[in-house]
């Protein structure tokens, strides 16, 4: 589908829902972009599994300090009051339910909230890693993803067919076409691009989209 959001636009939209005062883990890769679009005036404390709490935006190119990296081995900056701790303590924070939100990418999302976002192969992270802890330790789990695969197949399905990262864990999905909540084992449409119809959106979604009240237009800045 030609009319769709870029990754930056998806990340911007997800960033608008970051709650003031929240503790948030951003998954490796695409989800890390969300920190760039944190709304002014909101205090969000970012956590990374390798043991940093309170890191900031990525440094400018050429200004990296490679002693300061996140779990994806990307350079980070530190906000005032940032702290460092052992890897085991980091996962105690995750497993202890101290994170308000984890945002991850996805290969597939099931309508019951199941998440598949890892694979064994030559590309990407070759194991499930800390994601399996994050999806069941964080109070809420959101996904940012294209609505379909590169081959045009739906990523939002009645049931995942790939190895699962977590079961019934996802609460909200931000895609290139829509914002969708998962409630009572169903995809509930909250927002969609105004230029696509409900029928068009349903045709690229692998499970029924339910509507509960008004569906808002998904509006984002044209350039980011």
Catalytic residues: 49
47 forms beta bridges with: 25, 53
Collect all residues with Cβ–Cβ distance below 8 Å to 39 and sequence separation of at least 6: 15, 16, 18
**Residue 195 Ramachandran class (φ > 0 left, ψ -120 to 50 alpha, else beta):** alpha
Q: How far apart are CA 166 and CA 170, in angstroms?
A: 8
Report the DSSP beta bridge partners of residue 25.
47, 102
Q: Under the phi-then-psi rule, with left for phi > 0, alpha for psi from -120 to 50, and beta for the rest, what region is 185?
A: left
Name the region of 133 (left: φ>0; alpha: ψ -120 to 50; beta: rest).
Answer: alpha
Judging by DSSP bridges, how do beta strands 186-192 and 209-217 pair with one another?
A: parallel
Reading the block at residue 138, the tokens are 């964080």
Q: Are 106 and 161 in contact (CB under 8 A)?
A: no
Sequence-separated (6 or more) residues with CB below 8 Å from residue 79: 54, 55, 56
């Amino acid at each position: 589908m030609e009319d769709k959001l870029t990754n930056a636009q998806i990340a911007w939209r997800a960033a608008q829902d970051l709650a003031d005062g929240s503790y948030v883990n951003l998954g490796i890769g695409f989800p890390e972009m969300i920190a760039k679009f944190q709304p002014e005036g909101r205090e969000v404390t970012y956590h990374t599994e390798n043991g940093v709490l309170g890191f900031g935006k990525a440094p400018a190119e050429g200004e990296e300090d490679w002693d300061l990296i996140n779990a994806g081995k990307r350079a980070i900056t530190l906000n005032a009051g940032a702290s460092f701790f052992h890897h085991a303590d980091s996962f105690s924070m995750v497993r202890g339910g101290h994170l308000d939100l984890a945002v991850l990418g996805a290969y597939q999302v099931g309508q019951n909230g199941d998440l598949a976002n890892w694979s064994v192969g030559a590309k990407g992270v070759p194991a499930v890693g800390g994601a399996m802890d994050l999806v069941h330790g964080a109070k809420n789990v959101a996904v940012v993803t294209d609505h379909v695969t590169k081959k045009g197949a739906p990523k939002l399905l009645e049931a995942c067919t790939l190895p699962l990262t977590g079961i019934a864990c996802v609460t909200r999905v931000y895609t290139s076409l829509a914002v969708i909540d998962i409630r009572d084992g169903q995809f509930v449409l909250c927002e969609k691009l105004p230029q696509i119809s409900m029928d068009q959106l349903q045709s690229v979604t692998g499970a029924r989209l339910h509507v509960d009240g008004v569906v808002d237009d998904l509006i984002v800045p044209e350039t980011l």
